[in-house]
Amino acid sequence: MNQDYSDHFDEFNEATIADAAKRFESMLQRKETPYFSEEVFESLSEYYMVRGKFDFAMKACNFGLKHYPHSLDLILNKTQILINKFELEEATDLLDNASIFHPSDTEIEYFRGVILMCSGDNAEALDLFRQILPLAEEKENVYFQMGMALVSLGHIPEAIEAFQNAIGCKSKNELVYNELVYCFDVQSNLLGGIDLFNQLIDEDPYNQLAWFALGQCYNQLNLYEKAKDAFEYAVAIEGDFASGWYNLGLSQMNLESFSDAKESFINTLRFEEPSAEVLTHLAASHEKLEEYTEAYKNYKKAADMDEFWDDAWFGMASVLYEQEKYLESIHFVKKAIKLNDINSDFWLLLADNESKLGNVISSEEAYDKAADLDPINADIWLNWSLLHFEQENYHRAFEIVYEGIEEIPDDADLYYRACTYLLYSSSFNEAYKYLQEALVLDYDKHVQLYDFFSNLDTLKALQRIIDQFRK
């Protein structure tokens, strides 16, 4: 559970163990019984666990234990895999058998504590971790699990202390830093987190995990420029830091630096196995750059990788909508809605597609559903009202934006649109009131009015009012 294996290759370098992995897999394909030294089997299992290939890791453990049945490292690696698969009873039996030959071993007790946590017995697990802490060789791992147990028990200040102790033991586990950020966020004290991570950076400017955690804090505070700078330091220190590249990409997306974000997501995929999540963000960066072919291709890869990843289906629908392929777009957005029917963006896209096809009733139903789910999304009210405006039903169009104004009374776009519909209804005095309010909220957005009027006299009258307001 939440174990970091990246520092476990003491006996073998990456190239050597990668070669051993190829030979191991080749033997499996030929249905031969693999035979290596105990140390190679241990390193193979860890090699596969680092990469999330738990089936191969389990095979390495099982074949290794056939030859070396009392190897504690292989037993513990197999225990970890069983825990990851939530096969806790088998994991417990394995530890019970191991304790016969390795009585009072702290690593065995450590994994008993992890199993207790997985079973929801966090208080008992915490007691066990405290008992073995003085004797544990890798105290940073024990402190980390203590912190996780304390988080589950709702003891956030004590959890922060435990995670800080893990860092004090020179932990290089990314999860320790992630959990610290989480704790500071739960406490609504991200500024405290920023102070801590800056202190860690002062102590060691090459601590890429501290830079990474600092960036996460800034991201949570919507300080995207500062977050970007922190993530850039993290990947400059460790060029193959996949999580650093991924979060850098997220910050760049928020800063609308879509080309840079695309490169960051590409780098993420260079240094870790592809995932539906990363592929979806890469696709979104392509979409923002209007590179629709590449965007669709990556959204499709994400959906092929995980058919339940609703954002991938939505992404394909969004690309098809931009390409004016409305019928195809509806097909994919309905797949997204089937997976997640409480996402207002999905219903909004369905409504927009139906509107483009002239399916007024279907569009109306979808807009209504979107508004129920997210009444403070101005785009829903604006697009919904436009459906009726295009049918010259100006009164109904105004009613819809009026509902939106009641939900979002400080949104200038809704006031400008209300003004537009009232002018079309010849309700000039009312239109003037809404125009005044819109100009107060955001003067610069008045240019959107010009998209709705082609009559020169109307445009001149509007401009006079706007100019008077500016004076």
The string of DSSP letters for 360-420 reads HHHHHHHHHHHHHH-TT-HHHHHHHHHHHHTTT-HHHHHHHHHHHHHH-TT-HHHHHHHHH
pLDDT in tens, 61-95: 999 999 999 999 999 999 999 999 999 999 999 99
- Position 467 scores a pLDDT of 83
Contacts of residue 76, defined as CB under 8 A and 6 or more positions apart, other chains included, come to 98, 107, 108, 111
Alpha-carbon span 217 to 230, nearest angstrom: 10
- Position 459 scores a pLDDT of 84
State what percent of residues in the chain have pLDDT above 70. Answer: 97
User: pLDDT tier at 16 (50, 70, 90 boundaries)?
Assistant: confident
How far are the Cα atoms of 63, 234, 250 from residue 268, in angstroms, in the given order? 33, 13, 11
4 pLDDT higher than 70: no
Q: Domain boundaries in the chain?
A: 1-103, 388-471
- Position 425 scores a pLDDT of 94
Q: Mean pLDDT lowest for which of 27-36, 117-126, 261-270?
A: 27-36
- Position 454 scores a pLDDT of 82
Name residue 208's amino acid. Q
Supply the Cα-derived Rg of the chain in whole angstroms.
Answer: 29
On whether the CB atoms of residues 207 and 201 are closer than 8 A, the answer is yes
On whether the CB atoms of residues 182 and 217 are closer than 8 A, the answer is no
Alpha-carbon span 312 to 278, nearest angstrom: 11
Question: Is the four-CA dihedral 233, 238, 239, 241 of positive or negative sign?
Answer: negative
Domain 388-471, architecture per CATH: Alpha Horseshoe (1.25)
Environment class of residue 441 by beta-carbon count within 10 Å: exposed (0-12), middle (13-18) or buried (19+)? Answer: middle
Contacts of residue 51, defined as CB under 8 A and 6 or more positions apart, other chains included, come to 273
pTM of the model: 0.85
Three-state SS at 127: helix
pLDDT in tens, 219-256: 999 999 999 999 999 999 999 999 999 999 999 999 99
Name the one residue in this structure whose structure tokens are 């102590």: 203
Average pLDDT over residues 12-28: 83
Average pLDDT over residues 303-319: 98
On whether the CB atoms of residues 84 and 119 are closer than 8 A, the answer is no
User: pLDDT tier at 13 (50, 70, 90 boundaries)?
Assistant: low
- Position 15 scores a pLDDT of 66
Average pLDDT over residues 266-294: 97
Question: Is the four-CA dihedral 291, 294, 300, 304 of positive or negative sign?
Answer: negative
Name residue 130's amino acid. R
Name residue 382's amino acid. L
- Position 455 scores a pLDDT of 81
- Position 326 scores a pLDDT of 98
pLDDT in tens, 134-182: 999 999 999 999 999 999 999 999 999 999 999 999 999 999 999 999 9
pLDDT in tens, 314-346: 999 999 999 999 999 999 999 999 999 999 999
Alpha-carbon span 422 to 434, nearest angstrom: 9
Alpha-carbon span 308 to 206, nearest angstrom: 39
Three-state SS at 37: coil
Domain 1-103, architecture per CATH: Alpha Horseshoe (1.25)
Cα dihedral 366, 371, 374, 375 in deg (nearest 10): 170
Nearest in space to 122 (alpha carbons), one of 1, 245, 272? 1
- Position 9 scores a pLDDT of 40
User: pLDDT tier at 471 (50, 70, 90 boundaries)?
Assistant: low
Report the residue count for the chain.
471
Structure tokens at 324: 């004016």
How far are the Cα atoms of 30, 68, 168, 383 from residue 26, in angstroms, in the given order? 6, 21, 43, 58
123 pLDDT higher than 70: yes
- Position 51 scores a pLDDT of 84
Average pLDDT over residues 259-281: 97
Name the one residue in this structure whose structure tokens are 């003037």: 432
Structure tokens at 395: 């009164």
pLDDT in tens, 38-67: 999 999 999 999 888 999 999 999 999 999
420 pLDDT higher than 50: yes
Mean pLDDT score across all residues of the chain: 94
Q: Do domains 1-103 and 388-471 have the same CATH topology?
A: yes
Name the one residue in this structure whose structure tokens are 């239109």: 431
| Measured distance between the N- and C-terminal CA atoms of the chain, rounded to whole angstroms | 65
